C-alpha cells in the first residue's frame, strides 16, 4: 500500500500564504513494500498540470497567480510497483505585487532624540463597525518596530516580535491574521508597536534608530461579506495613537516596564500622522519561521538569596520570558531580574554587560497575570523583588522560531546525551528570528561565523528550511558589490569598527554564503536555494581570491592573509590577538574548502566551466597551504596547533602520505594535551572527524569523552544545560572567565551554540547517517562504534521521510537495525567494512566483533 506522508508548499504543509509567483512543492511517501521508488508525480494547480519524476523541487510554472486568492494543489503519485496515492493542500496568495491602499502611520508629534535608549511604545487604536454578515475577515499588517494586535480584548495571532527582523531597507515581512471569529458588530482594534530591532537600542554599541527615526505601522482589514461585497479598512489619519499606554518601556536588552494600572480608555489619544518613509522595502507575506512560545518550565527551586531576593531556578538555560500569576495590590511594583548563572548565591549579571534583562510590572488590584510581550531574556535563574513568595507563582516559557524537531540522537553514555540536550537548547535559544550569537547580553546579532560552522548540526536537529531561506535572502541583499559578506546579517554598520562599516571577505564568517546553503541543500535537497545563492557564492570567492593574491608573489598568491581574519577564534588559553594571527592558516584552508564546495555546486547546477575553475582554485590553494604553511614533515611553520592540522585534514586538502603525517602530528598534540580541546571556532566542528577519518577513532572518542577543562563534557559536568562561548566560561575554581586576561573583556556567554557543532559527529559517525546526495535521495549508514559505547540510536527526518537507525554491542556481536524511506537508496557499511546497498524498507544486520 502506498500513501503520501507529507505534501508541502514552500516547506509548509498547512497555513501557507505566499507571494512567490513560482512556489515550490515537495512530498514524501510511505509504502508497505520494499525497494520502492517514485515512477511519476502529477501536480495540478490553477488549471496547470505537470508530470515530475522527483519528489523535491517541484516548481509551479502555470498561469500567473493572482493576489488574495485561495488555490487547491492536487498531487497524484505512482510508484515503480504500480501503486498509486493522492493528496491535496490549499494555499493562498497575499498582495503579490499589488499596491497597499493603506498608508504608513506614526505619532508625528513624537520626537525621540535620546541616544542609546529605546523609544516608548506607541499604542494605536481603530474603532470600526460591521455592515452585514461576514464570510471572511483578515488583517494584513506590518511595522517598523515590533508589534502586537488586540481585537476586542483578544490577542490576535500567537507569534512574538512580528514582523520579524529582516534587511529592512530591502525587504519587510507582513503578517496575515484570520479575524473572522473575532469580529462583533462594534469593534476595537489596538496595536502596540515597540522599537524592536528597527528603532530600539541595539548592538553592543547601544545604537538606536538604526533603520527608522520612530515606529510606524501599516495595516489593512479586509472584510468579505456574504452578499458579495468587500470592504477594506486601512491605516490612515483617522486612526488614533498615544504613548500613554500600558507599556512604559520596551527593549530587547533592558527589558520591559508594564503598568497594569493604566486604563487605555482614560489615555490621551490623538490622530495618527502619515509617516514619510526613508526606506522602501519590498513587502512580502511572512516567509520565515515566526517566533512562538514553546516549552514551559516550572521552577525546580525557590530560595531567598543573601541579599533578600527571591531566586527561582528553572533548571534550564533558555531564551524566553516568565509567566507570573500574581495576587497584587494596586501600584505594587515587582521587578524580575534574569541571569544565566549564580555566584555566591546571587544572580551573576556582569556577563550581561550593559543589558539590564529586567521586567518591571506595576500591579493592578487583585488576581492578575503577567508575561513580557515586547522583549525576551536569556536566563536560567530569575530573581524577584517587590512581592512575597506566597503572592506569586512563576513559570518560564521558551521562545524561539517555529522550527520543528528534525532529528534525535542518544547513546549508552548519559553525559553525551546531556551534551546533545545542551546542543539543542543552545540552538533553540539562538534561533530567535535570526541566528544570534547569544540570547542574553547586549548583542544578539546575526553573526555569520557561528552559523556557518553550526549549520550542518542545526539541519540534523531541526527543519531549518524557512529559517535559513529568510536569513539568506537578507545575506544576498546585504552583500558588498565587491563580494564581501557582512559579519552580521542583517547588517548593522557599527561605528569605530572598520570591518563592520565595510563588508569584507572574512574566512569562515563570510563563507556562510556557501556553508549554510550547502548544509541546507544536503539536508533538504533544495536546488532552488543553491540557484538563488550561486551568484553570491561566486562573488564572495572572487573577493577571497583577490585578497589572497593582493601583493603576493607567485608562490604565495593562494595564501590568504589580508585583510581581516578572526582566525582561531575562542581557542582556549590565548589572547584574541593570538587567535587572529592564525588567520592565514584558517583563511587559506577555508578558501580551499569553499572553492571545492562551489565546484560541486557548479556541477549540480550544470555550470561545467565554473566547476573546473573552482576545482582548480581549490587544488592550487590546498597545495599552497601544504607547501608554504607546513614544512616537509607536515608540521605547521611557526608552531603546531590543533586547528592548523584539523582544517586541511577534514577539508581533504592533503595527499595520502601527507594526510598520515598531519594526522600523526595532530594526534600527538592531542595526546600531549591529555585529550583536552585546543581548537577555536573553525577547528572545533571538525577535530573529531580529522581523528576518526584518519585512523585515530579511539583517540577521537577519548577526546569527546574527556571531562576536564577545556572539553565538551567539562561543561556538562559543571552543570551546563547549554553550550558555552568559552571553553572555560566557568573555571574549575568556580569563577567566571570574562576575558580580562586576553583582551576580550566582557565577552562570555553560557548560551552560545558554535562549539555545539560537535553534534555533527554524533549523527555522521557515531550513528553513521550521512547524505551522499542532496536531500538524502542517496545516503549512507556507516556507524563507527568506539569509546566504550555499547549502543546508539536516532533518526533524521528527510524530504523522503524518516531514516531510523540503531546499533547495539552485546555478547561479542554488533547488531544494526535501519529503516530506509521510500524513494531513497542507502549504502549500509558495518564496522568490519562489509557493505550492502538497499532500497526502502526495514533491515537488520549482525556480525561478530574482533
Within 10 Å of residue 825's Cβ, how many Cβ atoms? 17
3 state SS of 844: strand
In what helix (H) or strand (E) does residue 466 lie, and over which residues does it extend? helix 465-478
Say whether the peptide bond before residue 163 is cis (omega within 30 degrees of 0). yes
Does 231 participate in catalysis according to the annotation? no
- What SS3 class is residue 417? helix
Residue in the block written with cell 557515531: 766
3-state secondary structure of 161: coil
* Residue 800: exposure state from Cβ atoms within 10 A (0-12, 13-18, ≥19): buried
**83 contacts 209 by C-beta, under 8 angstroms:** no
The reply to whether 838 belongs to the active site is no
Is-contact 210 223, C-beta < 8 A?
no
Q: Are the C-beta atoms of 817 and 841 separated by less than 8 Å?
A: no
Residue of 256, 413, 443, 715 marked active site? 443
Cα–Cα distance between 675 and 702 in angstroms, integer? Answer: 7
What contacts 24+ positions apart, CB below 8 Å, involve 543-547? 543/480, 543/482, 543/483, 543/484, 543/504, 543/505, 543/510, 544/483, 544/505, 544/507, 544/510, 544/587, 544/590, 544/591, 544/594, 545/591, 545/617, 546/483, 546/505, 547/504, 547/505
Q: Beta strands 825-829 and 778-781: pairing type?
A: parallel
- Rounded CA-CA distance 594/606 in Å is 18
Measured CA angle at 448 (ends 443, 450), to 5 deg = 80
- Assign residue 759 a region (left: φ > 0; alpha: ψ between -120 and 50; beta: otherwise): alpha
Query: What is the residue whose three cell numbers read 561479542?
Result: 812
481 close to 500: Cβ distance less than 8 angstroms: no
Q: HEC profile for 104-140?
A: CEECCCCCCCCCCCCCCCEEEEEEEECCCCEEEEEEE
Q: Which residue has the cell 527593549?
A: 251
Distance between CA 751 and CA 772 in Å, rounded? 32
The cell for 357 is: 534583562
- 699 within 8 A of 670, measured Cβ to Cβ: yes
- CA torsion sign for 443, 447, 453, 455 is positive
CA 530 to CA 707: how far, in whole Å?
40
Q: Which cell numbers hold the place of 437?
A: 550569537
DSSP 306: T
Catalytic residue among 332, 413, 424, 725: 725
Report the alpha-carbon distance of residue 28 to residue 12 in Å, rounded. Answer: 13
- Find out whether 740 and 748 touch, Cβ atoms under 8 Å: no
Q: Which residues are catalytic?
A: 443, 725
Amino acid at each position: 500500500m502506498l500513501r503520501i506522508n507529507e505534501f508541502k508548499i514552500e516547506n509548509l504543509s498547512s497555513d501557507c500564504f505566499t507571494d512567490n509567483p513560482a512556489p515550490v512543492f515537495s512530498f514524501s511517501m510511505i509504502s508497505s513494500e520494499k525497494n520502492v521508488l517514485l515512477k511519476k508525480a502529477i501536480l495540478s494547480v490553477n488549471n496547470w498540470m505537470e508530470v515530475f519524476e522527483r519528489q523535491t523541487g517541484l516548481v509551479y510554472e502555470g498561469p500567473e497567480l493572482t493576489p488574495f486568492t485561495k488555490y487547491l494543489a492536487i498531487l497524484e503519485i505512482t510508484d515503480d510497483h504500480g501503486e498509486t496515492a493522492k493528496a491535496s493542500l490549499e494555499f493562498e496568495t497575499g498582495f503579490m505585487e499589488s499596491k497597499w491602499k493603506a498608508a504608513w502611520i506614526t505619532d508625528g508629534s513624537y520626537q525621540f532624540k535620546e541616544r542609546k535608549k529605546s523609544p516608548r511604545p506607541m499604542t494605536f487604536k481603530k474603532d470600526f463597525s460591521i455592515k452585514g454578515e461576514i464570510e471572511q475577515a483578515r488583517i494584513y499588517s506590518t511595522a517598523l518596530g515590533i508589534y502586537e494586535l488586540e481585537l476586542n480584548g483578544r490577542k490576535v495571532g500567537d507569534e512574538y516580535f512580528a514582523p520579524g527582523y529582516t534587511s529592512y531597507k530591502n525587504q519587510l515581512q507582513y503578517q496575515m491574521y484570520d479575524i473572522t471569529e473575532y469580529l462583533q458588530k462594534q469593534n476595537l482594534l489596538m496595536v502596540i508597536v515597540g522599537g524592536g530591532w528597527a528603532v530600539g537600542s541595539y548592538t553592543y554599541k547601544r545604537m538606536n534608530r538604526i533603520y527608522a527615526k520612530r515606529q510606524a505601522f501599516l495595516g489593512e482589514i479586509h472584510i468579505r461579506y456574504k452578499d458579495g461585497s468587500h470592504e477594506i479598512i486601512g491605516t490612515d489619519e483617522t486612526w488614533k495613537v498615544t504613548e500613554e499606554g500600558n507599556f512604559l518601556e520596551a527593549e530587547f536588552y533592558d527589558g520591559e516596564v508594564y503598568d497594569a494600572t493604566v486604563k487605555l480608555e482614560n489615555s490621551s489619544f490623538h490622530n495618527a500622522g502619515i509617516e514619510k518613509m526613508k526606506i522602501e522595502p519590498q513587502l512580502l507575506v511572512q516567509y520565515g519561521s515566526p517566533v512562538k512560545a514553546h516549552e514551559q518550565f516550572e521552577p525546580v527551586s525557590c530560595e531567598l538569596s543573601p541579599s533578600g531576593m527571591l531566586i527561582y531556578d528553572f533548571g534550564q538555560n533558555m531564551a524566553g520570558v516568565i509567566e507570573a500569576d500574581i495576587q497584587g495590590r494596586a501600584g505594587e511594583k515587582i521587578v524580575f531580574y534574569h541571569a544565566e548563572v549564580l555566584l555566591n548565591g546571587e544572580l551573576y549579571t556582569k556577563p550581561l554587560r550593559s543589558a539590564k534583562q529586567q521586567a518591571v510590572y506595576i500591579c493592578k488590584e487583585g488576581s492578575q497575570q503577567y508575561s513580557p510581550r515586547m522583549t525576551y531574556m536569556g536566563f536560567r535563574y530569575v530573581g524577584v523583588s517587590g512581592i512575597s513568595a506566597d503572592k506569586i507563582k512563576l513559570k518560564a516559557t521558551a521562545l524561539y522560531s517555529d522550527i520543528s524537531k528534525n532529528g534525535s540522537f542518544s547513546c549508552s553514555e548519559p553525559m553525551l546525551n546531556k551534551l546533545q540536550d545542551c546542543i539543542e537548547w543552545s540552538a533553540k535559544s539562538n534561533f530567535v528570528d535570526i541566528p544570534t550569537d547569544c540570547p542574553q547580553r547586549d548583542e544578539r546579532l546575526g553573526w555569520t561565523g557561528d552559523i556557518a560552522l553550526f549549520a550542518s548540526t542545526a539541519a540534523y536537529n531541526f527543519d531549518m528550511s524557512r529559517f535559513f531561506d529568510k536569513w539568506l535572502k537578507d545575506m544576498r541583499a546585504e552583500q558588498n558589490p565587491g563580494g564581501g559578506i557582512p559579519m552580521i546579517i542583517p547588517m548593522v554598520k557599527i561605528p569605530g569598527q572598520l570591518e563592520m562599516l565595510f563588508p569584507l571577505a572574512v574566512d569562515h564568517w563570510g563563507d556562510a554564503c556557501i556553508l549554510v546553503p550547502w548544509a541546507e541543500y544536503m539536508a533538504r535537497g533544495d536546488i532552488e536555494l543553491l540557484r538563488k545563492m550561486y551568484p553570491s557564492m561566486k562573488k564572495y570567492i572572487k573577493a577571497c581570491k583577490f585578497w589572497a593574491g593582493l601583493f603576493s608573489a607567485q608562490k604565495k598568491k593562494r595564501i590568504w592573509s589580508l585583510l581581516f581574519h578572526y582566525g582561531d577564534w575562542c581557542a582556549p588559553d590565548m589572547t584574541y590577538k593570538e587567535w587572529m594571527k592564525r588567520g592565514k592558516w584558517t583563511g587559506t584552508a577555508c578558501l580551499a574548502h569553499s572553492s571545492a564546495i562551489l565546484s560541486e555546486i557548479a556541477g549540480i547546477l550544470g555550470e561545467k566551466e565554473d566547476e573546473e575553475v573552482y576545482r582548480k582554485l581549490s587544488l592550487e590553494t590546498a597545495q599552497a597551504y601544504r607547501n608554504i604553511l607546513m614544512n616537509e614533515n607536515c608540521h605547521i611553520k611557526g608552531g603546531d596547533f590543533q586547528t592548523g592540522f584539523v582544517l586541511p585534514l577534514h577539508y581533504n586538502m592533503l595527499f595520502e602520505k601527507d594526510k598520515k603525517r598531519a594526522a600523526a602530528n595532530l594526534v600527538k598534540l592531542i595526546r600531549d594535551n591529555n585529550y583536552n580541546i585546543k581548537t577555536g571556532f573553525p577547528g572545533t566542528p571538525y577535530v573529531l572527524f580529522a581523528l576518526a577519518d584518519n585512523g585515530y577513532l579511539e583517540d577521537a572518542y577519548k577526546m569527546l569523552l574527556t571531562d576536564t577543562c577545556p572539553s565538551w563534557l567539562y561543561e556538562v559536568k559543571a552543570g551546563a544545560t547549554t553550550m558555552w562561548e568559552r571553553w572555560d566560561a566557568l573555571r574549575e575554581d568556580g569563577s567566571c572567565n570574562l576575558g580580562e586576561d586576553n583582551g576580550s573583556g566582557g565577552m562570555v556567554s553560557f548560551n552560545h551554540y558554535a562549539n555545539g557543532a560537535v553534534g555533527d559527529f554524533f549523527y555522521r559517525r557515531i550513528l553513521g547517517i550521512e547524505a551522499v546526495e542532496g536531500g538524502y535521495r542517496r545516503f549512507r549508514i556507516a556507524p563507527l562504534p568506539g569509546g566504550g559505547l555499547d549502543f546508539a540510536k536516532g533518526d533524521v527526518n528527510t524530504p523522503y521521510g524518516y531514516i531510523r537507525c540503531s546499533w547495539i554491542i552485546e555478547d561479542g556481536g554488533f547488531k544494526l537495525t535501519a529503516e530506509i524511506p521510500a524513494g531513497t537508496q542507502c549504502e549500509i557499511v558495518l564496522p568490519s567494512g562489509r557493505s550492502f546497498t538497499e532500497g526502502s524498507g526495514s533491515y537488520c544486520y549482525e556480525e561478530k566483533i574482533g
